[in-house]
């Protein structure tokens, strides 16, 4: 069990593996500070920045500037393309989005040969630190896949399970969210949730426990699961929620942040290496938490 986002920051300090961070356009102070904090916490971390030397040097502390490599490019597309190309199939590398348009970053990333060789669907996973909840909760996919079909949901689940194992959750508990725990033959999402559960039972996703369909209360509250007569190791104790579509996942995440005062971190997974995808409006903590989580995953 991982109780808070700060756990990732502490784990980064103890890593004994070389990790390369390739950051596209760290032209804002919060991104630079996140990079500086993790790099200074462990000498095994190397940082390469892709962007404007002038903009980077204006906001980067002099001592840290001496420790990083800067690769200059003329356009956002060039900077993103060079960074993705520099991964060279390394699993112990992290790609990070800085102050660059998200659509440009993703479009360039999806075209990269290094990403295509992963041969997997790319998805996004959000990590939520929720007040009064005993452990971190992971939610997928609220960013990339709009209306996934069964094949795509299986890949989203596979990505999430693999990621969870890479950060130390040996057998993650995964709830496939649905409006009802009963399977209706007229509801595609409920049928597909049940199919994913059976696929997991047959070993399709490696070591993990999957159950669904499950409403949110059943997935997160043991009492709710028991009251409904659901005997499940996942019910009431889910680590990961797989939502039926982007809209439901994104709204759940936003509700937890804005109404539940949750803190969040997020990554792209299924790329062959972790990709830190934060908003340009995210604060330093959110960027540092996402980066730390990515580093732990890459090292795992």
Same domain, 52 and 1: yes
Same domain, 257 and 296: no
- CA-to-CA distance for 106 and 64, rounded, in angstroms? 28
pTM of the model: 0.95
What integer pLDDT is reported at residue 278 of this predicted model? 85
Same domain, 143 and 257: yes
- CA-to-CA distance for 122 and 110, rounded, in angstroms? 9
DSSP-derived 3-state class of residue 263: strand
Same domain, 155 and 250: yes
For the chain, what is the largest distance between any 2 Cα atoms, rounded to a whole number of angstroms?
63
3-state secondary structure 95-137: EEECCCCHHHHHHHHHHCHHHHCCCCCCEEEEEEECCCCCCCE
Secondary-structure percent of the chain, ordered helix, strand, coil, rounded to 5: 45, 20, 40
What integer pLDDT is reported at residue 262 of this predicted model? 96
Identify any residues that bridge with 211 across adjacent strands, giving them in sequence order.
Answer: 175
What integer pLDDT is reported at residue 117 of this predicted model? 53
Q: Determine the straight-line distance between the first and last CA of the chain, rounded to whole angstroms.
A: 16
Please state, in angstroms and as integers, the Cα–Cα distance from residue 268 to each residue in 65, 107, 130, 187, 275, following that order. Answer: 27, 13, 21, 29, 5
Same domain, 249 and 299: no
Same domain, 146 and 259: yes
Residue 206 sits in which domain range? 126-263
Question: Which pair of tokens denotes residue 189?
Answer: 């999402």
Cβ neighbours of 107 (radius 10 Å): 12
Same domain, 94 and 194: no
Q: Where are the alpha helices (DSSP H) in 174-274?
A: 188-201, 216-220, 222-227, 246-258
CATH of residue 39? 3.40.50.10950
Per-residue pLDDT of the chain (300 residues; tens, 9 = 90+): 899 999 999 999 999 999 999 999 999 999 999 999 999 999 999 999 999 999 999 999 999 999 999 999 999 999 999 999 888 666 689 999 999 999 999 999 888 776 655 567 999 999 999 999 999 999 999 999 999 999 999 999 999 999 999 999 999 999 999 999 999 999 999 999 999 999 999 999 999 999 999 999 999 999 999 999 988 999 999 999 999 999 999 999 999 999 999 999 999 999 889 999 987 678 889 999 999 999 999 998
Same domain, 199 and 173: yes
CATH of residue 211? 3.40.718.10
Same domain, 134 and 211: yes
Q: Is the dihedral of CA 37, 38, 39, 43 positive or negative?
A: positive
DSSP-derived 3-state class of residue 229: coil
Q: How many domains does the chain have?
A: 2
């Amino acid at each position: 069990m991982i109780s808070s986002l700060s756990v990732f920051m502490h784990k980064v300090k103890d890593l004994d593996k070389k990790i390369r961070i390739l950051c596209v356009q760290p032209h804002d102070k919060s991104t630079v500070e996140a990079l500086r904090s993790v790099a200074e916490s462990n000498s095994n971390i190397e940082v390469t920045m892709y962007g404007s030397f002038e903009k980077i040097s204006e906001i980067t502390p002099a001592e840290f500037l001496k420790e990083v490599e800067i690769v200059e490019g003329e356009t956002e597309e060039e900077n993103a393309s060079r960074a993705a190309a520099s991964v060279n199939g390394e699993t112990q590398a992290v790609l990070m989005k800085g102050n660059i348009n998200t659509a440009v970053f993703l479009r360039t990333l999806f075209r990269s040969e290094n990403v295509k060789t992963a041969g997997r669907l790319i998805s996004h996973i959000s990590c939520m630190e929720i007040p009064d909840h005993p452990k971190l909760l992971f939610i997928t996919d609220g960013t990339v896949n709009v209306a996934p079909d069964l094949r795509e949901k299986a890949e989203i689940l596979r990505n999430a399970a693999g990621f969870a194992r890479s950060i130390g959750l040996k057998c993650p508990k995964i709830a496939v969210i649905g409006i009802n725990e009963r399977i209706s033959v007229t509801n595609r999402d409920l049928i597909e949730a049940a199919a994913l559960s059976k696929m997991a039972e047959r070993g399709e996703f490696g070591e993990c426990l999957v159950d669904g369909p499950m409403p949110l209360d059943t997935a997160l509250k043991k009492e709710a699961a028991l009251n409904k007569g659901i005997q499940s190791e996942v019910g009431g104790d889910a680590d990961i929620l797989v939502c039926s579509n982007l809209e439901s996942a994104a709204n759940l995440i936003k509700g937890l942040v804005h109404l539940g005062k949750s803190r969040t971190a997020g990554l792209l997974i299924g790329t062959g290496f972790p990709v830190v995808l934060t908003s340009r409006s995210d604060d330093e903590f959110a960027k540092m938490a996402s980066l730390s989580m990515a580093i732990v995953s890459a090292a795992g």
